[in-house]
């Protein structure tokens, strides 16, 4: 279970790592998780989240 601190960090990381490709915003959950692991090295993160990928249109 993620605490509020982890959730806040993930949202900020998610937005920070967004890229606009051909008019479409793309977000990599795996990039966010990597950043989370670097910031909180003692946190255990389930690997099933590592391959998630999201995108949204502008």
pLDDT (tens digit, 9 = 90+) per residue, 1-32?
678 888 888 889 888 888 999 999 898 888 88
One-character DSSP codes across 5-58: HHHHHHHHHHHHT-EEETTEEEEEHHHHHHHHHHH-TT----GGGTT-EEEEE-
Q: pTM of the full predicted structure? A: 0.60
């Amino acid at each position: 279970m993620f605490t509020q601190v982890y959730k806040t960090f993930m949202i900020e990381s998610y937005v920070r790592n967004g890229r606009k490709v051909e008019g479409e915003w793309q977000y990599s959950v795996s990039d966010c998780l990597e950043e989370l692991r670097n910031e909180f090295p003692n946190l255990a993160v389930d690997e099933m989240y590592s391959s998630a990928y999201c995108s949204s249109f502008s």
